[in-house]
Amino acid sequence: MRRIRAYVPSVSSNQISGTILIIIVAISFAANSTLGKLSYDYGASPLSVLTYRTILAAIAVLVIQKISNSSILLPPKIALVSIFVGVLLATYSYGLMASIEHIPVALAVLIFYLYPVFTSLGAWILGQEKMTLKLWVCIIVAFFGLSITLGGGSSLNLIGFCLALTAAVGITFVLLITNSILKGQDAKSISIYTTSSASVCFLLLDIVVGEFPLPSDNIGVVAFILSGLFYAFSIIGMFIGLSKIGAIKTSLFMNLEPVSSVFFGMIILDQFLSPIELMGAALVILAVSFASKDQVELKRPGQ
């Protein structure tokens, strides 16, 4: 009698290692935000944290590019667009990191993670993508979940909410520009231009403000240093992970960041969400996960 064997698709070691790496990257991004907030409590500011971590990330990507003997030069038009994207990167990064001064880290990251939904809407409006029934359902569920989260706890800080929302809108513009103009270019070279441009923006703001506050306690200093290291690692890990498992799986596993932010917020910052807030957050993450599956070409740059 002939034996019928079921076909089991093989999983390469690249896919396994890439998946593990992206999971670690998602957790690392969450740790970076949480430790940034902890450093605020000991005297640092969003601007000082952002300046340090962005310069560190720019240097890290530059070193990786040099080690791989790859050129960092881009065509003039692409270089100019990348520099402009760096200004947007500085804007949305400040929005996110400043928002956690006013609202819990988990809530700020959750609002920020509406960007796949906003990107779907923007791509549809610009004619870059088709809007499907699934995406409309995801959008409705995401905003319903967010409304539950925002209304399920204490009174909402409007400043923190607007800053986090600005961050989500900012990264949406970055992704739409990347999809329409920078598509097909070397991601690492673009990242060098964008992080360098953002670094210059933050340094200029430091000069205008006239201060660069650093933590005054050992705990704050450690949190400050680790925040930048986690961010730099996340940027490099993102590029490596994308090359191993692709944009679809990367975007899906990156939804572990808001989940990790809830966990880190509880154990490091003593920030707890109510059961209703957690239920709303779960709806948002679920909706964004399904929406992210359609964002094949829209890759997230440095957060």
Chunked in runs of 10, what are the mean pLDDT values of the chain (303 residues)? 49 82 94 97 97 96 86 89 94 96 92 87 83 84 86 77 95 83 77 94 97 95 97 88 77 86 93 86 86 55 50
Average pLDDT over the chain, rounded to an integer? 86
Q: How far apart are CA 229 and CA 169, in angstroms?
A: 26
pLDDT at 48: 98
- The answer to whether the beta carbons of residues 250 and 276 sit under 8 Å apart is no
Q: How far apart are CA 211 and CA 254, in angstroms?
A: 34
Q: How far apart are CA 110 and CA 289, in angstroms?
A: 12
Per-residue b or e along 105-123, where b marks 16 or more CB atoms closer than 10 Å to that residue's CB: bbbbbbbbbbbbbbbbbbb
**Share of the chain residues as helix, strand and coil, in percent rounded to the nearest 5:** 75, 0, 25
Sequence-separated (6 or more) residues with CB below 8 Å from residue 248: 292, 293, 295, 296
- 3-class DSSP state for residue 11? coil
Give the DSSP letter of residue 102: T
- For the entire predicted model, the pTM comes to 0.86
pLDDT at 7: 45
Q: How far apart are CA 283 and CA 67, in angstroms?
A: 42
